[in-house]
């Protein structure tokens, strides 16, 4: 999946907040995108991976040649149940992801659906083929019991709230996390622009502050959010929405 810089929406926002610095506008776009992704489930990532133990990295997108991964715990009772991480694992990439898991829609192991379960409810670890999927830390999943095989998982993602400046010498105010899926811009750009304008124009005591217009854009943004979940669940093929939704 291609990721696009939030600056792509500046032409839709800057004319209405002309003196607001671009980096603040980009931050506002990402904040709007986080809320939009939570409400709409518009960022779905479905992937199949072969798991063999340890930690498996799943790529979710690239921007400017850089890969943005998610890291999953794919082990079962072979691993200590302490935050899903053992002392020998390099988790540095986890802090560099542009997306985080909002919800897990479904998971299957070798074609068999996995049941979601709270990790603390397991009194005795079963043996055999994986039957359950659980979490012991955000942005990780754990299979119980563990066995090598093929995991298929559908995730609803959202942008991270992390901030990291200074990664581009030519643009020191570039925040490397200000990137979004391309379809957020092409299909939902105006919705995100309204959400960003609400945030920017409601900043107090700035040259571009305009509480009245902020309230108007906020109302339009909330209207778009209210309609976004059903439209994204049905998709462009306008299929009926599943009546049974697995909420992890």
More confident residue, 49 or 29: 29
pLDDT band at 245 (very low <50, low <70, confident <90, very high): very low
Which residue's structure tokens are 């400017």?
Answer: 64
Contact 136, 73 (CB under 8 A): yes
Per-residue pLDDT, 8: 97
Spatial neighbors of 170 by CB under 8 A, at least 6 apart, are: none
- Rounded CA-CA distance 185/196 in Å is 13
Tens of pLDDT along 159-213?
999 999 988 888 888 898 999 999 999 999 999 999 999 999 999 999 999 999 9
Per-residue pLDDT, 207: 97
- Rounded CA-CA distance 81/121 in Å is 13
In the predicted structure, residue 60 carries a pLDDT above the cut 90: no
Percent of the chain past pLDDT 90, that is, above it, reads 47
Per-residue pLDDT, 234: 56
Q: What is the mean pLDDT of residues 28-37?
A: 97
Per-residue pLDDT, 135: 84
C-alpha of 17 from chain center: 28
Q: What is the mean pLDDT of residues 133-143?
A: 83
- Rounded CA-CA distance 61/63 in Å is 7
Which residue's structure tokens are 């959202």?
Answer: 158
Token pair belonging to 134: 């659980």
Per-residue pLDDT, 90: 41
């Amino acid at each position: 999946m291609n990721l696009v810089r939030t600056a792509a929406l500046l032409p839709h926002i800057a004319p209405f907040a002309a003196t607001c610095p671009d980096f603040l506008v980009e931050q506002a776009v990402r904040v709007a995108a986080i809320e939009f992704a939570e409400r709409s489930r518009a960022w779905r990532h479905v992937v199949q991976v072969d798991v063999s133990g340890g930690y498996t990295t799943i790529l979710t997108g690239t921007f400017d040649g850089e890969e943005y991964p998610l890291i999953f715990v794919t082990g079962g009772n072979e691993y200590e149940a302490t935050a899903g991480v053992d002392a020998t694992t390099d988790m540095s990439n986890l802090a560099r992801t542009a997306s985080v898991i909002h919800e897990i829609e479904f998971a299957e192991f070798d074609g068999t659906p996995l049941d979601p379960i709270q990790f603390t409810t397991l009194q005795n670890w079963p043996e055999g083929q994986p039957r359950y999927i659980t979490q012991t830390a955000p942005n990780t999943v754990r299979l119980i019991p563990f066995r090598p095989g093929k995991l298929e998982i559908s995730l609803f993602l959202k942008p991270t709230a992390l901030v990291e400046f200074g990664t581009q010498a030519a643009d020191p105010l570039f925040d490397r996390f200000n990137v979004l899926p391309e379809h957020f811009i092409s299909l939902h750009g105006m919705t995100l622009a309204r959400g960003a304008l609400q945030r920017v124009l409601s900043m107090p005591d700035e040259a571009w502050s305009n509480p009245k217009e902020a309230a108007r854009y906020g109302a339009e943004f909330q209207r778009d959010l209210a309609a976004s979940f059903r439209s994204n669940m049905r998709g462009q093929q306008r299929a009926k929405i599943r009546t049974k939704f697995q909420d992890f």
